[in-house]
A and B are shown apart, each in its own frame.
Chain A
Amino acid sequence: MWKVAWRNLWRNRTRTALSIAAIGLTHALLLVFMAINEAGYQSAEQSAVKTAGGQLLVHGSGYWQSLSSRHTVDHPTAVISTLEGMVGVEAVIGRVILQGLVSSSHGSSMVRLAGIDRQQEALQIDLGPYVTQGSFLDPADQAANPLVLGRGIIHDLELELGDRVVLTATDPQGEVTRALFRLTGILETGSDSYDEYAAYTTVEAAQRAFAMGERLTQIGVLLDQNAQPDAIRNRLQRLLGERADTLEVLTWAEAYPDLVGYIETDRGLGLVFAIVAFLVVGFGIANTFLMSVMERIRELGLLGALGLGPGKILKLVICEASCLGLTAVSLGVSLGAAVNYYLCAVGLDLKMFGDIEWDAGGIILSETVIHSSFDAASWIVASLVVLAVVLASSLYPAWRARRLEPAQAMRCFQ
């Protein structure tokens, strides 16, 4: 049966080769598309974690909604100590984040001022290499209130290294406070939207300038690779007891629901793309098999006359489809694996599509080279789905073949 099916398949070599190429290329495209997407999602998630400040974020209750400096983490040392003692926690990073206004003699610009500990921050993301002039909060720098600003702000305010600027922000008591800072570094990440509002200083300088005492606005928590953010959050809340009511603990996904929505939407669109692609291919295959059956009516009649029952004739056509499907899927997997290997090893530089900003849901995708990923389970599932589509496409032609009356089909005695 399989031998006859395989040979039947190659009776019209061009048609079979075209069918296999169509299915195989579509399958390869689907596999690579899936792999790139998955890697892209992972990269976006990593970027989101970096942008958010950690897999878990601890704020004063209500901070994330309002981004107001009134909602601070008071007495953060106890919280940090609790976190550092927890299994699954890799690092704990304290920050002061304030929305403010930076002013020079040439004007003012909105900024997001982050007071950070550079060494701690580097555990997650080191912006040092993106500082194109000056230094990034170098401890050797003697400036009392050092400030690193994005290139966009520098351009708007016509600033130069060493210039003094005034930063205005609201302190925890609700008072509008001004403080003098000195420009010690210029940040250039390549993302215009980021460089137009990023401002960095040290934690101590921010606390001092805006009367925060030891208070922080955010504690970022970096977790082990296998740690579950939700489980750590629940444990932390239990350990904090009543104190937990004054704090909010968010996972990165809760902090950036837009990104999660974007990824889910994109996954859905990918699925729709795959369904449409394989529906088109499926109809093509059904047409091919129907033509193949119609061309062989006399021969199928002969098989019936010789004693091949209707069920076996149906099976023969399905065997042919299986041969076609398996060959095409093998081709697709081979091609997909070759392309994916290249993408895993070398990657795809998104900059080749133009000098545009790559961000999603407010997250800057700092890594513009996407390295594909390989997930054997999803490749197996996708290949089985393709095989199922091919087999499903052959069902109607197979059913038509099954219904043929041998005498009529052959017109053997007419």
Chain B
Amino acid sequence: MIDSNGHLIEIKNLTRTYRQGIVEVPALKGVDLTIDRGEFTALYGPSGSGKTTLLNLIGCLDRPDQGSIAIGGRRVEQLSRSAAATFRLNHIGFVFQAYNLIPVLTACENAEFILLLQGVPRQQRRAVVHPLLERVGLAGEMNRKPHELSGGQQQRVAVVRAIASNSRIVLADEPTANLDAETARELIRLMLELNEEQGVTFLFSTHDPTVLAHAHRLIEIRSGRINGERSRLTS
């Protein structure tokens, strides 16, 4: 379990450059950032500004060229692939833009997948996941496969999966990008409610003004740098 008396996420001088052939493309240029427990924070900025790279690095899906990332006081930027996978499994929930679910599993099985990997017994898994699926309005869809669910329902299953394992951080990349406005609003409200009810820290990237309107803290990224940030009271 991650634990620290300081910031939940602490990033210092984070730099990442991609190489495309002989061309070097700087994605992040010395980012400093802290995220505290229970925040509901949005990263925004134009395409190619570095939002994805930052989320990848925080989620231990990639390694920086320079700088450090501490999550709950633990340095994670140089974890091996296996150690990073174990860290993600136990501490970080993800909601992706699309292809979030495992096609061969039902909604319920997808929602409990992390718990399954953690070795939680079936009965216990069901005891955790069923109320959450009911909570997000999917009580009647538990046994449906992803292709039988709408885009919004799939994203809700992904949110349940992210929080069911008691992850304290949920990273979401453009979670509403493929949803219509109403469904997007519903999803973001759900995330916000879970943030308030369960104290889960949400960090997500988005272009969607509707989503941005719900964020407590807004961080703007441009050209691989944090261009500014502002906070707002919970609506």
Taking Cβ atoms with an 8 Å cutoff, the residues of A that contact B are 4, 7-8, 11, 298-299, 302-312, 405-407, 410, 412-414
**Which residues of chain B are near A413, meaning CB under 8 Å?**
51-53, 55-56, 96-97, 173-174, 205
- Which of A305, A311, A406 is B82 in contact with, Cβ under 8 Å? A311
Residues of B within 8 A of A412 (CB): 52, 56, 61, 96-97, 173
Do residues A414 and B89 form an inter-chain contact, with CB atoms below 8 A? no
**What are 18 residue pairs bridging A and B, where the CB atoms are less than 8 Å apart in the complex?**
A11-B103, A302-B100, A302-B102, A303-B102, A304-B85, A305-B59, A305-B88, A305-B94, A305-B96, A306-B89, A306-B161, A307-B86, A308-B89, A309-B86, A407-B62, A413-B53, A413-B96, A413-B205
**Which of A4, A307, A312, A414 has most B Cβ within 10 Å?**
A307
Chain A residues whose C-beta falls within 8 Å of the C-beta of B103 in the assembled complex: 11, 299
Contact residue among A298, A308, A414 (Cβ-Cβ distance under 8 Å from B85): A308
Q: How far is the CB of B208 from chain A (nearest CB, A)?
A: 15
Asked if A299 contacts B102 (CB within 8 A), the reply is yes
Complex Cα gap A298–B86 (Å): 20
For B81-112 the 0/1 string (1 means CB < 8 A from A) is 11001101110001011011011110000000
Known: A7-B105, A302-B100, A307-B88. 9 other contacts (CB 8 A): A4-B104, A299-B103, A306-B114, A306-B117, A307-B90, A310-B82, A312-B85, A412-B61, A412-B173
Assembled-state Cα–Cα distance A302/B85 (Å):
11
- Chain B interface size, under 10 / 10 to 19 / 20 to 34 / 35 or more: 20 to 34
Q: B89 contacts A407, CB within 8 Å?
A: no
B contact set with A: CB distance below 8 Å? 51-53, 55-56, 59, 61-62, 81-82, 85-86, 88-90, 94, 96-97, 99-100, 102-105, 113-114, 117, 161, 173-174, 205
Instruction: Tell me what chain A mostly uses at the interface: helix, strand, loop, or mixed.
Output: helix
For B205, the chain A residues whose CB sits under 8 A away are: 413
- Complex Cα distance, B59 from A298, in Å, reads 17
Question: Are the C-beta atoms of B85 and A310 separated by less than 8 Å?
Answer: yes
Q: If A306-B114, A307-B117, A407-B62 touch, does A4 touch B105 (CB 8 Å cutoff)?
A: yes
Residues of B near A305 (CB, < 8 A) are 59, 61, 88, 94, 96
Tell me which of A299, A304, A406, A414 contacts B99 (CB under 8 A): A299
